[in-house]
Amino acid sequence: MDVHTTVADFQAARRRRSGSLGLVPTMGYLHRGHLALVRLAREENDLLAVSIFVNPAQFGPSEDYEAYPRDMDRDLDLLRRERVDYVFAPGVEEMYPPGHDTWIDPGDLGTRLEGAHRPGHFRGVATVVAKLFNVVAPDRAYFGQKDGQQVAVVRRMVSHLGMGVDIVAVPTVREEDGLALSSRNVYLTPEQREAAPAVFRALLAAERLWSRGERDGDVLRGAVRIVLEETPLIEAVDYVSVAGTPGLAELDRVTGPAMVSVAVRMGRARLIDNLVLDPASLPGSH
């Protein structure tokens, strides 16, 4: 496994080998969710690259950039076991050299949901992903559906800018009790960890209603809120959304594919999760 910290070294190594290339962009502190992406990318490509970069541009001034969990040695050991070909692990100045002042504006899609609560977040995401695509030049890139809005932002950027990268969304990996895997779950206290699966139960409440024929967006959002508000350790609900895909505009009525998503705060942790409502999955739809 080749580990590179500079653009020049990575690109020189890549030129020495031919074949299709898959990329899994990460911020490190890898868990089973990341490894699901890695394993699928390993199956679907001749070569596999994983990037590890905690991107300061997607963190707000009061967010957890400095505290974000990091363990490079452990990450590299996990990736060796998965037969990864390349790891690209640049420093901040390699990705954002002095004087860097070029950014990608993701448009209205980047101002909704997470974007409304984390101003500038998706500008940072879109910019770093574009830079990684330029450096790595993958044929396919793999993202977890847990960050559903991120997937939508990246897909739209790739389409609008003609980047020619196939974006593969991989289903959310969960603990046995339903909690979506996240590097930030380490912030949960034992009591909060016990309560955290309520987030997934809230999404399932909306999905059950929808599967029985409910199409009113407010009713579906209300079903999510009821479960969240019954969970005492949830200190704040940032949003509950039932939005059409891929644009993620809120829906009065659900008449096609949609995403139910939430963001809540529990102590130091901010948990996000989503479920996709796909009419094609309903009985009798085929």
198-226 residue pLDDT tens = 999 999 999 999 999 999 999 999 999 99
Q: Over pLDDT 70: what percentage of the chain?
A: 99
Higher per-residue pLDDT: 106 or 285: 106
> Please, what are the domains in the chain?
2-170 (3.40.50.620), 183-275 (3.30.1300.10)
| pLDDT average, residue stretch 96-121 | 96
Considering the candidates 4, 31, 34, 121, report the single residue annotated as catalytic.
34
pLDDT at 153: 98
Cβ proximity of 35 and 50 under 8 Å: no
pLDDT at 280: 84
Residue 23: pLDDT band with limits 50, 70, 90: very high
As given in the structure block, the two tokens for residue 170 are 């991989």
User: Average pLDDT, whole number, for the chain?
Assistant: 96
251-281 residue pLDDT tens = 999 999 999 999 999 999 999 999 999 988 8
- Is residue 160 annotated as a catalytic residue, yes or no? no
What backbone torsions phi and psi does residue 64 show, to the nearest 5 degrees?
A: -100, 35
